[in-house]
């Protein structure tokens, strides 16, 4: 399906020879004129070159973007001041070609860290990329930002007269020395007076709730553009929905994953507490290996929750694995384990629902199972 971008936006992707094997690795998203934009960057202290450069540009423009360029295969991270200069130089070249200010061009990188960008290849790719940009280009864009992803990730929604699209790659946690998760959200809706606050709320309920192994990356970035051409305000719930579907897709495509796992935590004192417990369960190697073994292991789930730092009484908690209640108020139900096993064995998307019995708030977090294939991929990645 060739997804049409919201009005006023065009995209493209092509192979510029940055990756070792021939594959699309340079992507472009352009707006017909500078549009309101916001970004959320990694909280890591180790930063890819694009993070400080793009953050400064957004500050200087007050959040306006004309074009977003992305390369995959090289993260331009741990490359020092030279790497930041490389980033600026590429963006300036593209700005010259588009006839806009260099501050209105953001250039993001993802891939292996510790190596300088192949500047000739990146610069040579700009012209054909601009030529190729078109309203149907999101699929090409989404393929050209992939690194070890096994499939591109695109989502869309129509809500209240505005179009929303999103594309993402990788996962903030799963990838080795890849610097890793990139998310793009674009709409012809109006972003309102505070796009940054809007995006922060959306990300807190989507990308920040996806985890594969707890390892965050130096290049993680989520970017939101809004052309405003639809004449209506963007619908926050719909935007959150698109972002959540992308976040789920990232977990489902986790390295070596065979199951997408939704960890739903209910009965929490507040949403932050529910999220914290959910993240602790979702990053537990013991829980994730149990899912790989199709084992409805209530003990590992409750034990992970019990060390999350959120006060609750395990003897008031209840756990469902899919349709099967395996643990109620401190008591396991061995007779329910067959139905739980069946859920884990037969469904590609499985659900753990833990009710803490400590309040009325809830939250969902997404993860995947931990398989031997994950270890193989990450033990053999560079060798």
Piece of the chain touching its own copies by CB under 8 A; list 26-34, 60-68, 95-103, 329-337: 329-337
Among 118, 135, 192, 332, binds its own copies (CB under 8 A): 332
Residue 272 interacting with its own copies (CB under 8 A) = no
Among 17, 118, 135, 299, binds its own copies (CB under 8 A): 299
Please report, for residues 64, 98, 382, the alpha-carbon distance to residue 196 in angstroms, rounded to integers and kept in the order given. 12, 25, 37
Among 127, 307, 346, 349, binds its own copies (CB under 8 A): 307
**The tokens 């992803």 sit on which residue?**
149
Task: Say how far apart CA 85 and CA 350 lie, in whole Å.
Answer: 46
The single residue of 110, 180, 275, 283 carrying the catalytic annotation is 180
Q: How far is the CB of 283 from its own copies (least distance, A)?
A: 8
Kindly identify the residues of this chain, within the stretch 162-201, that bind its own copies according to CB under 8 A.
Answer: 176-177, 179
Kindly identify the residues of this chain, within the stretch 106-125, that bind its own copies according to CB under 8 A.
Answer: 113-114
How many positions of this chain bind its own copies (CB under 8 A)? 60
Residue 223 interacting with its own copies (CB under 8 A) = no
Are 31 and 225 in contact, with CB atoms under 8 Å apart? yes
Are 190 and 170 in contact, with CB atoms under 8 Å apart? no
Residue 250 interacting with its own copies (CB under 8 A) = no
Residue 371 interacting with its own copies (CB under 8 A) = yes
CB atoms within 10 A of CB 352: 28
Task: Say how far apart CA 68 and CA 223 lie, in whole Å.
Answer: 9
Q: How far is the CB of 107 from its own copies (least distance, A)?
A: 20
281 three-class SS: helix
- Which bin fits 28, alpha (ψ -120 to 50), beta or left (φ > 0)? beta
Are 269 and 287 in contact, with CB atoms under 8 Å apart? no
**The tokens 């993001």 sit on which residue?**
108
Nearest to 342, CA basis, from 301, 286, 296, 297: 296
Piece of the chain touching its own copies by CB under 8 A; list 22-30, 65-73, 119-127, 312-320: 312-320
Residue 20 interacting with its own copies (CB under 8 A) = no
Binding mask 23-52 for its own copies (x = CB under 8 A): --------------------xxxxx-----
Are 356 and 327 in contact, with CB atoms under 8 Å apart? no
Sequential DSSP letters for 171-221? -TTT-SSEE--EEEEEESSB--S-HHHHHHHHHHTTGGGB-SSS---TT-E
Q: Is 163 exposed, middle or buried (0-12, 13-18, 19+ CB in 10 A)?
A: buried
Task: Say how far apart CA 158 and CA 6 lie, in whole Å.
Answer: 10
Among 17, 192, 314, 357, binds its own copies (CB under 8 A): 314
Q: How far is the CB of 207 from its own copies (least distance, A)?
A: 15
Q: How far is the CB of 102 from its own copies (least distance, A)?
A: 24
Question: What angle, rounded to 10 degrees, do the helices at 80-98 and 50-61 form?
Answer: 50
Nearest to 70, CA basis, from 32, 35, 117: 117
Among 76, 109, 187, 378, binds its own copies (CB under 8 A): 378
Piece of the chain touching its own copies by CB under 8 A; list 73-81, 85-93, 121-129, 149-157: 73-81
The answer to whether 180 is a known catalytic residue is yes
Task: Say how far apart CA 22 and CA 24 lie, in whole Å.
Answer: 7
Residue 372 interacting with its own copies (CB under 8 A) = yes
Task: Say how far apart CA 1 and CA 344 lie, in whole Å.
Answer: 31
Piece of the chain touching its own copies by CB under 8 A; list 65-73, 145-153, 154-162, 277-285: 277-285
Are 261 and 367 in contact, with CB atoms under 8 Å apart? yes
Binding mask 351-370 for its own copies (x = CB under 8 A): -------------------x
Nearer to its own copies, 142 or 221 (CB): 221
Nearer to its own copies, 366 or 374 (CB): 374
The residues binding its own copies (CB under 8 A) are 43-47, 77-78, 80, 113-114, 176-177, 179, 213-218, 283-286, 289-290, 292-295, 297-300, 302-307, 311-315, 327, 330-332, 370-372, 374-376, 378-383
Which residues are known catalytic residues?
180
């Amino acid at each position: 399906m060739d997804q049409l971008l919201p009005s006023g936006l065009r995209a493209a992707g092509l192979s510029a020879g940055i990756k070792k094997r021939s594959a699309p690795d340079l992507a472009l998203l352009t707006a017909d004129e500078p549009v309101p934009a916001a970004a959320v960057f990694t909280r890591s202290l180790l930063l890819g070159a694009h993070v400080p450069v793009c953050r400064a540009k957004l500050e200087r423009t007050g959040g306006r973007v004309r074009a977003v360029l992305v390369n995959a295969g090289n993260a331009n991270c741990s490359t020092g001041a030279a790497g930041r200069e490389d980033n600026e130089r590429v963006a300036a070249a593209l700005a010259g070609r588009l006839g806009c200010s260099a501050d209105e061009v953001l250039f993001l990188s993802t891939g292996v860290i510790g190596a300088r960008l192949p500047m000739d290849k990146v610069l040579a790719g700009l012209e054909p990329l601009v030529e190729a940009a078109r309203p149907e280009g999101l699929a090409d864009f989404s393929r050209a930002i992939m690194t070890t992803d096994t499939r591109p990730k695109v989502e869309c929604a129509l809500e209240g007269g505005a179009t929303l699209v999103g594309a993402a790659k990788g996962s903030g946690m799963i990838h080795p020395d890849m610097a890793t998760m990139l998310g793009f959200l674009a709409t012809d809706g109006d972003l309102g007076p505070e796009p940054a606050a809007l995006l922060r709320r959306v990300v807190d309920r989507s990308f920040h709730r996806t985890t594969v192994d707890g390892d965050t990356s130096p290049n993680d970035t989520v970017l939101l553009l809004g052309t405003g051409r639809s004449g209506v305000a963007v619908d926050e719930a719909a935007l959150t929905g698109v972002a959540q579907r992308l976040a789920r897709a990232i977990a489902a495509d986790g390295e070596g994953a065979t199951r997408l796992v939704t960890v739903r935590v209910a009965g929490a004192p507040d949403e932050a507490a529910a999220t914290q417990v959910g993240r602790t369960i979702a990053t537990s190697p013991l829980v994730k290996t149990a899912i790989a073994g199709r084992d409805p292991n209530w003990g590992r789930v409750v034990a992970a929750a019990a060390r999350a730092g959120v006060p609750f009484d395990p003897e008031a908690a209840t756990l469902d694995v899919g349709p099967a209640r395996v643990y109620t108020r401190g008591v396991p139900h061995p007779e329910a384990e067959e139905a739980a096993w069946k859920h884990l064995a037969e469904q590609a998307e499985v659900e753990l629902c833990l009710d803490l019995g400590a309040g009325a708030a809830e939250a969902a977090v997404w993860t995947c199972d931990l398989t031997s294939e994950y270890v193989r991929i990450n033990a053999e990645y560079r060798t």
